[in-house]
Structure 1
Amino acid sequence: MGDYTFFFYGTLMAPAILHRIIHGSSTPEVWQKSLIISRPALLPGYRRYRVHNADYPALTPSDSADSPPVLGTIVTGITEGDIYRLDRFEGSEYEKCSVRVKVLRGAAQTKCGEEGDGSLQHALEKTANAGCDESAFREMEEVEAMTYVWKDGKERLDVDQEWDYEHFKKEKMQWWVEADESEL
């Protein structure tokens, strides 16, 4: 099992895409699914933006202390080989950084690719939308993780609009799952 923990906030929140990148298939074997565990998580102090003319988002440190935390997924069980493939997928627009994310204490973990607890996801969305209220974070534990932070300049970002995961799932994800390797 891998020793690394990552926070994903964009296309890699989708298990089919994550498995495609690290295992080579959007429908991996059962044993491959069992290697990585995911939970919903929040990342305070950052913002997620749309990248112009792209389906994927960018994560940057927030300029505002009162911006809501970024809703994403914390994934454990990542191996060094997985990191190599993730680095190639993310490319030169991003750099790997260590961050502190918040997860609900005792939150149920799911094998990546299984449906998680919708009520847990709803609770995190409610907390994220409430802003950075410290009382909302009291029941959460802090976990260190790696993530990919945008380094390619804000001129390529739509800073007036956050990237929308639900829109991505409905409108774009099918192409990402079925695209040829050279297209990703």
Structure 2
Amino acid sequence: MADRKAFFYGTLMVREVLYRVCYGDERADKDPILGLLAASLTIQPAILHDYCRHRVLNVDYPGIAPQKGHTVRGTYVTGLTDADIWRLDHFEGSEYERRDVQVQLLKKDGEVGAKEKLVYADAETYVYTAGEEHLEEREWDFDEFRREKMHRWVGSRQEYEEVDEALARNGHDQTGGRGVQNCSYGRESEGDVLKSAV
């Protein structure tokens, strides 16, 4: 059932990265079958209060840690399945712990009106737990990531190895996800065939 909700604050704010993790294809919205699955997701801007987003040392992605008075802007995604969460857990790895949080929803343009009632929603997010000594003082910058580092994440297999290996070990997704199993959803890209199955 597609009733899981998550808050993403780093690389997963990029649709292509989210699609690659959940569907095995960064262009899932262009595929006739995967496009139907991708269309079931709703994505809107949101704010997580009392957390701070930091750069993780020597990598492209951030981590968040609880910190009173700070906020983190990100995306609130609904329509995720248990299978999607299983893949996301493997993607995030042992440095992160999935936790329940509450986020403030924003309008599609990312703003909230002064006279409007604040709307909050429950979500799951990945909190960095590998130790604060691995976090830089400065905040991770999404625009900098898109401008300077996203090329490493789109059109590449390297950042998705843990997800691909977990799927390969299981033969196919055992989590009762979206009902399409043992399918190769990737397109050949520079000789690589993605082995992900939904």
Name the TM-score class by shorter chain: 0.7 to 0.9
Q: CA deviation at 1:33?
A: 1.9
Moved more, 94-103 or 32-41: 32-41
1:170 aligns with 2:147: yes
Q: Which structure dedicates a bigger proportion of its chain to helix?
A: 1
Equivalent position to 1:33, from 22, 31, 38: 38
Query: Which residue matches 1:55?
Result: 60
1:95 aligns with 2:74: no
Q: TM-score, normalised by structure 1?
A: 0.79
Secondary structure of residue in 2 paired with 1:177: coil
Query: Which residue matches 1:147?
Result: 125
Query: Which residue matches 2:69?
Result: 66
Q: Distance in 2 between matches of 1:95 and 1:162?
A: 20
Equivalent position to 2:85, from 71, 77, 83: 83
Query: Which residue matches 2:135?
Result: 157
> Amino acid of the residue matched to residue 140 of structure 1?
L
Q: CA deviation at 1:174?
A: 1.8
Q: TM-score, normalised by structure 2?
A: 0.74
Structure-2 change in CA distance of 1:34 and 1:174 (3 Å) = same
Q: Percent identity?
A: 41
Unaligned runs of 5+ in 1: 108-116, 128-135
> Amino acid of the residue matched to residue 142 of structure 1?
Y
Unaligned runs of 5+ in 2: 164-198
- Counting matched residue pairs gives 156
Structure-2 change in CA distance of 1:2 and 1:183 (3 Å) = closer
Larger of the two Rg values belongs to structure: 2
Q: CA deviation at 1:75?
A: 0.1
Q: Distance in 1 between matches of 2:17 and 2:150?
A: 8
